[in-house]
Structure 1
Amino acid sequence: MDYVIIVITTAAGLYFHWWLYVRIKRWMDRDLALSFAEGDKAKQAFMLEQLQAARAEGIRRRDLQAWLEQASRRYRA
């Protein structure tokens, strides 16, 4: 019984840490996208759409900043 408790606790802890890591990654990506909006509400919505498009296209995180910069330049007010 002790081993079952250890396995369940370990699995729950690993899942929680994975979940937290994914959430923080998403928050950082969202903040990156919003940083290009410069406080403009319409551009914020546009950049969040572009972030979704980048995720759909499978843009890697290391290339995400450059991709979002290009998307930001394409924005028309």
Structure 2
Amino acid sequence: MDYFIIVVTTAAGLYFHWWLFRRIRQWSDRDLALSLADGNEHKRQYMLEQLARARAQGVRRKELPAWLEQAAEQYPRGDA
């Protein structure tokens, strides 16, 4: 019974660590996208859409900052 408790506790701890790691990465990616919006509400929505698009296209995390910066530069200037 002791081994069962150890295995369950270890598995739960590893899962929680993995889950927390993933959430922190999502939050930092979202913060990066929002920081490129320069406080413009329309551009904020645009950047969140671009972040979702980058995830759907499978953009690697290493390439994400440059990809988002390029997307921010393509934002239509008329709405800014």
Q: TM-score, normalised by structure 1?
A: 0.99
The share of aligned pairs that are identical, in percent, is: 65
2: CA distance, partners of 1:21 / 1:34: 20
1: CA distance, partners of 2:70 / 2:6: 49
Q: Write the mapping of 1:41-60 to structure 2, written as runs, cut at 5 A.
A: 41-60=41-60
Q: Which runs of 5+ in 2 are unaligned?
A: none
1: CA distance, partners of 2:30 / 2:8: 33
* 1:53 positional shift: 0.2
* 1:66 positional shift: 0.4
What is aligned with 2:12?
A: 12
Q: Which runs of 5+ in 1 are unaligned?
A: none
Q: Looking at secondary structure, tell me which structure has more helix per residue.
A: 1
* 1:19 positional shift: 0.2
Q: Write the mapping of 1:31-70 to structure 2, written as runs, cut at 5 A.
A: 31-70=31-70
State whether structure 2 residue 28 is matched by structure 1 residue 28.
yes
Runs of 4+ off more than 3 Å: none
2: CA distance, partners of 1:42 / 1:68: 16
Q: TM-score, normalised by structure 2?
A: 0.95
> Given residue 27 of structure 1, which amino acid in structure 2 is its aligned partner?
W
* 1:39 positional shift: 0.4
2: CA distance, partners of 1:61 / 1:10: 28
